[in-house]
Structure 1
Amino acid sequence: MKAGVKLPDVTFHTRVRDEAVEGPNPFRWEDKTTADYFAGKRVVLFSLPGAFTPTCSTYQLPGFENGFADFQAEGIDAIYCMSVNDSFVMNKWAEAQNLKNVGVIPDGSGEFTRKMGMLVAKDNLGFGNRSWRYAAIINDGVVEAWFEEPGLCDNHGEDPYGVSSPETVLKHLKDAKAEVAA
């Protein structure tokens, strides 16, 4: 669907650990751009409705985290999880999930998600605007492959999951590699 699309230029307001900052919260603000995350790399980006939510925390994020070596073997340099949550929430979720391999990107205002056409209302769940669940293979800032859950709409009654799963994305990478080798 979105293969060939260049990612939008967005600035993400992140919090990064800095031991020079004293006290119980040793973090400082650091703005990062789309280019900082995606330029010159082949990455998997997956986006989901919210940190700490059941499907995201139980299946999608752990699947990408635990499968990182398999993705590297298929030519992936990094895996990023994005959500329309602020950096404080994303960092706490990364800590709670004990992430070592997947980086988190806070799209707090939903600007990137909106520009990708994936911002939906989740008012039926009390969430406000959030990301529709999707994954993508991004090569140097351009969408190489797109995996969008069916039914994109505001206030969807369900949270479809499968098309954007780590297993589906990894299978695509392996199948594409086998096609090139054949």
Structure 2
Amino acid sequence: MIKVGDSLPATTLMEFVEVAGEGCSIGPNAVDVAKSSAGKTIALFALPGAFTPTCSAKHVPGFVEKFDELKGAGVDEIWCISVNDAFVMGAWARDQKTGDKVRMLADGDATFTKATGLTLDLTGKGLGLRSNRYSMLVKDGKVASLNIEGPGKFEVSDAATLLQQAKA
């Protein structure tokens, strides 16, 4: 399992882009994790699934709400990662009004999630292999802090916790 001091997995995530710009075409675009995190401080959080209750009601809205404070604490970007496809993550971004605040990144085949060791098997609930709920502060591609939730919990991976860690 990934831990503080480790580098993020050298994988590729996908991001649905609705407006072309800065080399991004409309539609799903590949995001090289190593290149995209190099030299940046990233507030990264992962969750079991788009449009699911806790994820939609609390997790994503908290990071949208704390955007300005996280930026003020030195965070360059906020990433939300879920084992969903880029089209679903794009629709969820519209629904959650993440705009330019939170990058909604798809880990469609769970490559990133498997590489972190933070998988959650929800096969018995009809959801298949998903990501555990967690957050991490990443500095220049390395994990600076890691907050992993217990089963069914939402206590330590929230935006307020990560904000405090970014300020420290």
Counterpart in the other structure of 1:121: 121
Provide TM-score, normalisation by structure 2: 0.90
* Residues 70 and 18 of structure 1, relative CA distance in 2, 3 Å threshold: closer
Q: Residue by residue, what CA displacement relative to the aligned partner does 1:113-169 show, whole Å, maximum 9, x if unpaired?
A: 000001121123210000000000000110000010124xxxxxxx21111011111
In 1: Cα distance, 2:19 partner to 2:31 partner: 16
Contact 2:89 2:106 in 1 (8 A): yes
Deviation at 1:18, TM superposition (A): 4.9
- Counterpart code for 2:90: N
Counterpart in the other structure of 1:50: 49
* Residues 102 and 28 of structure 1, relative CA distance in 2, 3 Å threshold: closer
In 2: Cα distance, 1:98 partner to 1:31 partner: 22
Q: Residue by residue, what CA displacement relative to the aligned partner does 1:77-96 show, whole Å, maximum 9, x if unpaired?
A: 11010000000000000001
Contact 2:7 2:143 in 1 (8 A): yes
Q: Residue by residue, what CA displacement relative to the aligned partner does 1:19-69 show, whole Å, maximum 9, x if unpaired?
A: 6xxxxxx93342221024311100100000000011011111000001111
Q: CA RMSD in A?
A: 1.8
**Higher RCO (CA-CA < 8 Å; seq separation 6+):** 2
Counterpart in the other structure of 1:2: 3
Q: Percent identity?
A: 38
In 1: Cα distance, 2:163 partner to 2:106 partner: 24
Counterpart in the other structure of 1:11: 12
In 2: Cα distance, 1:121 partner to 1:164 partner: 19
Contact 2:41 2:77 in 1 (8 A): yes
User: What SS class does the counterpart of residue 96 from structure 1 fall into?
Assistant: helix
> Unpaired segments of 5 or more residues in structure 2?
none
In 2: Cα distance, 1:127 partner to 1:135 partner: 21
> Unpaired segments of 5 or more residues in structure 1?
20-25, 152-158, 177-182
Counterpart in the other structure of 2:165: 172
Show the 5 A alignment for 1:97-116.
97-100=96-99, 101-116=101-116
Show the 5 A alignment for 1:1-182.
2-18=3-19, 27-100=26-99, 101-151=101-151, 159-174=152-167, 176=168
- Counterpart code for 2:5: G
User: What SS class does the counterpart of residue 70 from structure 2 fall into?
Assistant: helix
Deviation at 1:173, TM superposition (A): 2.6
In 2: Cα distance, 1:127 partner to 1:15 partner: 22
Divergent runs of 4+, >3 A:
26-29
In 1: Cα distance, 2:41 partner to 2:59 partner: 20
In 2: Cα distance, 1:94 partner to 1:14 partner: 10
User: What SS class does the counterpart of residue 87 from structure 2 fall into?
Assistant: helix
Count of aligned pairs: 163
Deviation at 1:14, TM superposition (A): 3.5
